[in-house]
Structure 1
Amino acid sequence: MVSLVPESTTSDTTVSHPRSPTESTQMLSPMDRKATRVMRYREKKKTRKFEKRIRYASRKEYAEKRPRIKGRFERGMK
């Protein structure tokens, strides 16, 4: 049987990698390991965000100030 891994919180003070070799994952059968990987994939898939987001505010400000021709950035001096 495959057990669920609890979701981590930001209040955790210990740093441990979920796939560290010291865990009991080495004793799992290949089918259990695959099931664990598939479950992890599905959980991560649920948290995906596809909406547009701005990573760098400074780049956005610079892009808004640049001159455009028909919606595209102007090339500048040739």
Structure 2
Amino acid sequence: MALSALVALLQYPCVTLVRGPLGGDPFYVNVGLIAVVLVAFVSPVVVARKCHRLAKDLGAAGTPLTAPPSAESPTELPH
């Protein structure tokens, strides 16, 4: 919902920019939008690499990446 509102908010300035200063040539607006999309696609890759590096560092430090024993076996809750 917020993304839709953001796109709707930026749509009018982009059209105004293309019709006004850019003289009907949307090249620079397209380049800007491509840059935004590339940042959005690269972000998950950066997060995955960071998580992998953190897991590798924790493994090298001897810290197990498993849940504590109390979390492995769920207990029944009273009704």
TM-score range normalised by the length of the shorter chain: 0.3 to 0.5
| TM-score calculated relative to the size of structure 2 | 0.33
The structure with the greater share of residues assigned to strand is 1
Larger Rg: 2
| TM-score calculated relative to the size of structure 1 | 0.33
